[in-house]
């Protein structure tokens, strides 16, 4: 191919890419996994699938390094536990900016700093209420002082539980009374700085918390019973929720702040409503809705700006919200796609491109040696299974999950295997008082996948052992000195 052809293709291909990317779509890239993919692999995965924006939950330098030169728009974050420090003094905020951002601002398109993550969540009992706004102010001030205030905006991603409606109607929306005054201050501050209001919307949780929640309403299905509100008709939970926010903002005198949907998605395991099939249905509906290129009933000119939650499954997330919490990825933990979808909303579903050149550990599994127990579940088997589950991950065995229908005796094998894989296939992690047995035949059963973890290399491994504890003690010692 001649040079002219190449140039032609370059422009033509660019045009195709631009035309396809009509949805302003980002993803959340979380890292709470025992065996995370290398950051460079993840950046390639994003590029291969035409995703151009990411939202992070920290400011990990390895992640930012991998994003250098990618052209990706990035939202970095300050975890809730650091809010008090940032609120404490402007100097702390300045230190954070210089230690976390300055090395990267020239090569990574950092656009926002998320100050905390859903800090006013009801389940936090107000733990972060006091520090959030001062932290937000200090971080924005520190950005301004570093001459970054124009390009990088500080904001606070909030869960949609900061507002509620006394009926099912969006027009009855209002900010929660316990934090309303605080929200008024924050919104005014964001607006004055040209920063966006970031909100996380979870139709799945509505369904999870209330079995009577109209399921079609969550799935954008036509024929869903509509909610009529004044002259507006709502047929899906995204529009209804978004307008509940708009009404709540209206009531505090704000009707022109930029809104970003910081998280929206559907999990694929760990609950009867969390299946690959339901997730696909949800994303189909969501992408079609976004591709309509129209706003909401209340604000037809609204442009959706959306970050999916999330990119990858994360096996270290707390299961306190529910067993589904570890399965929010549109890709598995290893970057394998789970189901076909079409980000452009044209309904031409195909499997997304998976992560490339992933290095796995050996093809070895740990299972229950059924010959020892005569295929029976003895109290010993039960005890070892419980132990394996306690320190491993049995969320896929829970009712309604992908492995819930395998035989009881296979439950033990599943538990043993997860424990063993999460400990990097160490031989003694397959002992279980002599009940465990290492095999090289794939132990997966139908839908129930017995995974093999990513080989993350000795230095990177999640540490469960004494090494980690000793390191922690040493760090504490030196911090105190
Ligand atoms: C919030 O309060 C509940 C009930 O008092 C308690 O169980 C829970 O652990 C508290 N959560 C936090 C994050 O403090
Ligand atoms: C499996 O375990 C469940 C609950 O512990 C029990 O109800 C069921 O009878 C068991 N099935 C077999 C085949 O042992
Ligand atoms: C094991 O089998 C399952 C399906 O049966 C498959 O998806 C998986 O890739 C296999 N694992 C390996 C390591 O070959």
CB of 444 shorter than 6 A to ligand 1: no
How much is the average pLDDT of 374-388?
93
CB 360 within 8 A of CB 455: yes
Q: Which residue has the CA at smallest separation from atom 3 of ligand 3?
A: 444
Is pLDDT of 8 > 50?
no
Q: What are phi and psi of 146, to 5 degrees?
A: -85, 10
Q: Which atom belonging to ligand 3 lies closest to the Cα atom of 360?
A: 13
Is pLDDT of 5 > 70?
no
What's the CA-to-centroid distance between 401 and ligand 2, angstroms? 16
Listed range (46-50, 74-78, 373-377) with the worst mean pLDDT: 373-377
Question: Helix, strand or coil for residue 347?
Answer: coil
What's the CA-to-centroid distance between 444 and ligand 3, angstroms? 6
C-alpha 137/C-alpha 297 separation (Å) is 34
C-alpha 221/C-alpha 161 separation (Å) is 24
Reading the block at residue 28, the tokens are 């959340």
C-alpha 173/C-alpha 186 separation (Å) is 18
CATH architecture of 2-326: Alpha-Beta Barrel (3.20)
C-alpha 144/C-alpha 194 separation (Å) is 13
Give the single-character DSSP code of 36: P
CB of 127 shorter than 6 A to ligand 1: yes
Q: Which residue has the CA at smallest separation from atom 5 of ligand 1?
A: 125
The domain locations on the chain are 2-326, 365-477
pLDDT in tens, 71-126: 999 999 999 999 999 999 999 999 999 999 999 999 999 999 999 999 999 999 99
What's the CA-to-centroid distance between 385 and ligand 2, angstroms? 14
Q: Which ligand sits nearest to residue 123's alpha carbon? A: 1
CB 186 within 8 A of CB 156: yes
CB of 124 shorter than 6 A to ligand 1: yes
What's the CA-to-centroid distance between 399 and ligand 2, angstroms? 13
CB 443 within 8 A of CB 425: no
CB 450 within 8 A of CB 414: yes
Active site residues: 118, 263
C-alpha 478/C-alpha 481 separation (Å) is 5
pTM, two decimals, is 0.89
Cβ < 6 A, ligand 3 pocket: 363, 442, 444, 449, 452
For 418-438, the DSSP string reads HHHHHTTT-GGGG-TTTTEEE
pLDDT in tens, 316-331: 999 999 999 999 999 9
Element (H, E) at 365: strand 365-368
Q: Report the 10 Å Cβ neighbour count for 352.
A: 21
What's the CA-to-centroid distance between 120 and ligand 1, angstroms? 13
Who wins on pLDDT, 339 or 474? 339
Identify the pLDDT of residue 346: 87
Is pLDDT of 179 > 70?
yes
Q: Which atom belonging to ligand 3 lies closest to the Cα atom of 363?
A: 13
CB of 10 shorter than 6 A to ligand 1: no
Q: Which residue has the CA at smallest separation from atom 7 of ligand 1?
A: 123
How much is the average pLDDT of 427-447?
97
C-alpha 334/C-alpha 36 separation (Å) is 8
Give the length of the chain.
481
pLDDT in tens, 195-232: 999 999 999 998 898 888 888 888 988 776 788 999 99
Pocket probe for ligand 3: among 337, 442, 447, 451, the residue whose CB has the most ligand atoms within 8 Å is 442
């Amino acid at each position: 191919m001649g040079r002219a052809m190449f140039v032609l293709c370059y422009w033509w291909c660019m045009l195709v890419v631009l035309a396809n990317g009509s949805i302003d779509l980002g993803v959340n890239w979380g890292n709470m996994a025992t065996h995370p993919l290398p950051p460079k692999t993840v950046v390639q995965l994003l590029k291969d699938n035409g995703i151009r924006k990411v939202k992070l939950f920290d400011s990990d330098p390895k992640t930012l390094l991998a994003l250098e030169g990618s052209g990706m728009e990035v939202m970095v974050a300050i975890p809730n536990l650091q809010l008090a420090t940032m609120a404490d003094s402007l100097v702390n905020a300045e230190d954070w900016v210089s230690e976390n951002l300055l090395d990267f601002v020239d090569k990574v398109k950092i656009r926002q700093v998320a100050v905390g993550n859903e800090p006013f969540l009801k389940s936090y009992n107000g733990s972060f209420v006091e520090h959030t706004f001062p932290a937000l102010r200090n971080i924005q001030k520190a950005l301004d002082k570093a001459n970054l205030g124009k390009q990088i905006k500080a904001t606070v991603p909030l869960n949609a539980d900061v507002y509620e409606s006394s009926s099912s109607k969006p027009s009855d929306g209002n900010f929660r009374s316990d934090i309303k005054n605080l929200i008024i201050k924050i919104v005014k501050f964001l607006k004055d700085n040209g920063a966006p209001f970031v909100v996380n919307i979870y139709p799945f949780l509505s369904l999870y918390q209330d079995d009577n929640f109209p399921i079609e309403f969550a799935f954008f299905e036509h024929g869903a019973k509509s909610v009529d509100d004044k002259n507006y008709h709502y047929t899906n939970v995204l529009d209804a929720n978004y307008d509940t926010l708009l009404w709540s903002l209206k009531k505090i005198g704000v009707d022109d702040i930029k809104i970003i949907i910081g998280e929206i998605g559907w999990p694929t395991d760990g609950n009867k409503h969390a299946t690959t099939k339901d997730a696909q249905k949800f994303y189909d509906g969501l992408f079609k809705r976004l591709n309509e290129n129209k706003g909401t009933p209340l604000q037809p000119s609204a442009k959706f700006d959306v970050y999916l939650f999330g990119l990858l499954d994360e096996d270290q997330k707390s299961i306190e919200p529910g067993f589904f919490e570890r399965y929010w990825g549109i890709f598995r933990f290893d970057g394998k796609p789970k189901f076909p979808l079409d980000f452009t909303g044209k309904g031409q579903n195909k499997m997304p491109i998976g992560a490339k050149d992933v290095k796995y550990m050996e093809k070895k599994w740990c299972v229950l040696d059924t010959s020892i127990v005569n295929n029976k579940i003895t109290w010993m088997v039960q005890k070892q299974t419980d132990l394996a589950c306690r320190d491993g991950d049995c969320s896929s065995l829970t009712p309604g999950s992908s492995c819930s229908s395998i035989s009881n005796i296979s439950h033990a094998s599943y538990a043993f295997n997860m424990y063993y894989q999460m400990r990097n296939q160490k031989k003694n992690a397959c002992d279980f008082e002599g009940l465990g047995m290492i095999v090289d035949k794939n132990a997966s059963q139908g839908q129930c996948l017995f995974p093999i973890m990513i080989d993350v290399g000795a230095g990177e491994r999640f540490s469960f052992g004494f090494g980690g504890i000793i390191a922690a003690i040493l760090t504490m010692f030196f911090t105190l000195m």
